[in-house]
């Protein structure tokens, strides 16, 4: 077994910062009467603010300070989001509140090419989500947690090394009452090494079995079961921007964080998303929704962000955006890609749909369509618009023009097509079309093929039985 502990030391701050590329000095305060600074970003540190300072003092140092109040519920939501994303690496995930996640990775090491590539991908992925984490690898979850709390970014493989490293760890890191730890400190027992050198039965009598068990679990002497984390069935997450923005690129920057989280969730479930909704929250107006509909399921973050960019470019914002909420709608099963052994240069099935979605995102869903024939004698009803790529392949042997005019253009008998003077010459016809008395579109026409004065072949008709007007309905082009 090999466990990784992901610890987010200043999660309360990071969840406010991750929505923007840079931000002025920001602190998170505790919710109390005389609040103190819990954590602060680099800009605030440069200005001389330190954790533990009174917020009023910090505000005096930098008047343009952004102050946020700590919200444990939002931290828990953020942690769930990260855990959801992590499930794409391994199915064994466990939350250790308030700001730690444990994952078992011995089963997936081979898939990701070993320890170093895997921890590299984890770190890079977390950075892309906008979180800073320390990652500690140890043979059991308790040891991984304790070492992560100590701030050591390390990776421990064998039992003897674990014992040596844990022996240096201070007892204050344990999940034990402060009173017990203080009492031990008075006795001169500061580290786990000191504890281990004392007789076990006496320690159990004085300090209870609980502490003995925790240290035994860390050493791998006792089993260490953890409650499994199960990701929510539907993905929905929101993010607060560090400062209100209207521009597309900063919005996309923040949206990308959420899209990456979503793709982790989709990868774990082996599904792709068909509909996606991004809600842009404002201070005084109702949220502006941005809805993406895809032709084929996808979980490619780059592709989804490209589509969102096109949509965001066209959307009208009533005022600056303060929060983003991403909700995954309909999903479909989507297997992972099998790499071909011999590259055949053909685009994958999913890649074929990208261009369609890209065009639809900007031009509108209705504007991009396919065409198919429909068995009806009336020319206007002999074709149908379809979803792109869903048309049936049919063949036909009717002599029909390549272009059909959306509505037939009326011609005077002596007139020709615009731009020419000489009259029409009828070449073929009539072809009688009589159909549709049963619905509201009754057609009784005689169709002719003609050439106009300049030689363009056109498709004409005259209403039966006694219509005098000629209409151009198509161009053979």
Partner 1 sequence: MPSALHSLLQNPAIWRGNEQARVALPSIPTGFSELDRELPGGGWPRGVISELLAERSGIGELSLLIPALAQLSQQDGWLMLIAPPWIPYAPALAARGIRLSRVIVANTVSDKDTLWAAEQSLRAGNCSAMLAWPAAFNEHGLRRLQFAAEEGGSFGVVFGETSRAALSSPAPLRLRLGMRQDKLSVKILKRRGSGVMPTLWLDTDKPHGAMLQHTAKILNHGGHGGKAGKADLSISMGVA
Minimum distance from residue 301 beta carbon to partner 1 (Å)? 18
Q: Which positions ≥6 away from 404 have C-beta within 8 Å?
A: 379, 380, 383, 473, 474
As a whole number of angstroms, the distance between CA 477 and CA 452 comes to 12
Report in angstroms how near the CB of residue 336 gets to partner 1 at its nearest. Answer: 21
352 binds partner 1 (CB under 8 A): yes
Given the complex with partner 1, which of 226 and 400 has the nearer CB atom? Answer: 400
CB of 314 to partner 1, least distance (A): 10
Parallel/antiparallel/unpaired status of strands 443-451 and 457-463: antiparallel
User: Helix crossing, 72-86 with 248-269: angle to 10°?
Assistant: 60
Check residue 67 and give left, alpha or beta (phi > 0: left; psi -120 to 50: alpha): beta
Distance CA 96, CA 227 (A): 9
Contact call for residue 475 and partner 1 (CB under 8 A): yes
Q: Is 430 exposed, middle or buried (0-12, 13-18, 19+ CB in 10 A)?
A: middle
Decide whether 275 or 392 has the Cβ nearer to partner 1: 392
Q: Which of 159, 206, 234, 390 binds partner 1 (CB under 8 A)?
A: 390
Please report where in the chains the tokens 């977390």 appear, as a residue: 126
394 binds partner 1 (CB under 8 A): yes
Other residues' Cβ atoms within 10 Å of the Cβ of residue 413: 9
Minimum distance from CB of 436 to partner 1 (Å)? Answer: 17
DSSP assignment of 388-456 equals TT-PPP----S---SEEEEEEEEE-TT--STT--SPPEEEEEEEEEEE-TTSS--EEEEEEEEE-TTS-
In the complex with partner 1, the residue whose CB is nearer, 228 or 347, is 347
- Strand 66-69, strand 26-29: pairing: parallel
226 binds partner 1 (CB under 8 A): no
Which residues are registered as beta bridge partners of 279? Answer: 289, 325
- Using CB under 8 A as the binding rule, the residues of this chain from 176 to 215 that contact partner 1 are none
Cβ-based nearer residue to partner 1, 369 or 464 = 369
Q: Write down how long the chain is.
A: 477
Stretch touching partner 1 by CB under 8 A, among 59-67, 100-108, 187-195, 353-361? 353-361
Q: Which is nearer to partner 1, 179 or 338 (CB)?
A: 338
Question: Could you say whether residue 358 binds partner 1 (CB under 8 A)?
Answer: yes
Residue 154 or 420 with smaller CB distance to partner 1: 420
Query: What is the nearest approach in angstroms of partner 1 to the Cβ of residue 313?
Result: 11
Of 130-138, 159-167, 168-176, 359-367: span binding partner 1 (CB under 8 A): 359-367
In terms of CB distance, is 162 or 449 closer to partner 1?
A: 449
Using the rule CB under 8 A, is 397 a contact of partner 1? yes
3-state secondary structure of 99: coil
Phi-psi region of 208 (alpha: psi -120 to 50; beta: other; left: phi over 0): left
Q: How far is the CB of 398 from partner 1 (least distance, A)?
A: 6
Q: Which of 226, 269, 362, 444 binds partner 1 (CB under 8 A)?
A: 362
Burial grade of 392 (CB within 10 A; 0-12, 13-18, 19 or more): exposed
- Which residue, 20, 3, 7, 265, is CA-closest to 156? 3
Choice between 132 and 362, CB closer to partner 1: 362
SS3 93: strand
What does 309-327 look like in DSSP terms, one character per residue? HHHHHHPPPSS-EEEEEEE
- Site residues for partner 1, 401-460, by CB under 8 A, read 401-406, 419, 451, 454-458
The footprint of partner 1 on residues 332-351 (CB under 8 A) is 346-347, 351
Residue closer to partner 1, measured from CB, 78 or 450: 450
- Tell me the site size for partner 1, rule CB under 8 A: 53
CB of 379 to partner 1, least distance (A): 8
> Omega into 213 within 30° of 0, i.e. cis?
no
**In the bound complex, what is the minimum distance in angstroms from residue 409's beta carbon to partner 1?**
10
- Least distance (Å) between residue 23 CB and partner 1: 33
Q: Across the strands, what pairs with 239?
A: 324
Of 336, 396, 421, 468, the one binding partner 1 (CB under 8 A) is: 396
Contact footprint for partner 1 (CB under 8 A): 346-347, 351-352, 354-356, 358-359, 362-363, 367-373, 379, 382-385, 388-406, 419, 451, 454-458, 474-477
């Amino acid at each position: 077994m090999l466990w990784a502990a992901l610890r987010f030391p200043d999660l309360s701050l990071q969840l406010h910062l991750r929505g923007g590329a840079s931000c002025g000095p920001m602190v998170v305060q505790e919710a109390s009467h005389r609040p103190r600074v819990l954590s602060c970003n680099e800009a605030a540190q440069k200005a001389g603010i330190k954790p533990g300072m009174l917020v009023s003092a910090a505000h005096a140092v930098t008047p343009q300070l952004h102050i946020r109040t700590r919200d444990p519920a939002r931290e828990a939501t953020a942690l769930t989001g990260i855990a959801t994303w992590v499930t794409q690496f391994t199915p064994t995930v466990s939350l250790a509140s308030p700001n730690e996640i444990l994952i078992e990775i011995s089963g997936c090491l081979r898939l990701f090419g070993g320890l170093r590539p895997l921890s590299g991908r984890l770190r890079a992925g977390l950075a892309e989500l906008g979180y800073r984490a320390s990652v500690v690898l140890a043979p059991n979850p308790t040891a991984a947690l304790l070492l992560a709390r100590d701030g050591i970014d390390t990776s421990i493989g064998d039992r003897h090394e674990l014992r040596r490293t844990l022996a240096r760890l201070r007892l204050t890191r344990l999940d034990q009452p402060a009173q017990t730890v203080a009492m031990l400190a008075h006795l001169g027992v500061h580290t786990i090494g000191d504890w281990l050198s004392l007789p076990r039965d006496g320690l159990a009598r004085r300090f209870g079995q609980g502490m003995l068990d925790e240290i035994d679990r860390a050493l791998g002497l006792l089993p260490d079961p953890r409650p499994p984390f199960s990701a929510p069935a539907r993905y929905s997450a929101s993010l607060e921007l560090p400062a209100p923005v209207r521009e597309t690129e900063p919005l996309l920057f923040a949206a990308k964080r959420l899209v990456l989280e979503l793709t982790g969730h989709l990868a774990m479930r082996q599904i792709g998303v068909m509909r996606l909704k991004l809600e842009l929250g404002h201070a005084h107006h109702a949220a502006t929704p941005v809805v993406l509909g895809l032709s084929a399921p996808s979980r490619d973050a780059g592709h989804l962000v490209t589509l969102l960019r096109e949509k965001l470019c066209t959307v009208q914002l009533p005022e600056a955006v303060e929060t983003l909420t991403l909700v995954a709608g309909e999903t479909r099963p989507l297997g992972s890609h099998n790499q071909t052994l011999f590259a055949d240069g053909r685009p994958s099935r999913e890649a074929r749909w990208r261009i369609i979605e890209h065009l639809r995102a900007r031009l509108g869903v209705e504007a991009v369509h396919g065409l198919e024939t429909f068995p009806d004698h009336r020319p206007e009803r002999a074709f149908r618009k379809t979803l792109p790529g869903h048309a049936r392949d049919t063949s036909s042997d009717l002599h029909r023009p390549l272009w059909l005019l959306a509505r037939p253009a009326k011609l005077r008998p002596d007139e020709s097509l615009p731009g020419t003077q000489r009259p029409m010459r009828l070449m073929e016809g009539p072809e009688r079309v009589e159909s549709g008395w049963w619905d509201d579109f009754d057609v009784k026409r005689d169709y002719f093929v003609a050439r106009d004065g300049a030689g363009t072949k056109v498709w004409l008709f005259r209403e039966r039985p006694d219509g005098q007007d000629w209409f151009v309905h198509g161009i053979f082009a």
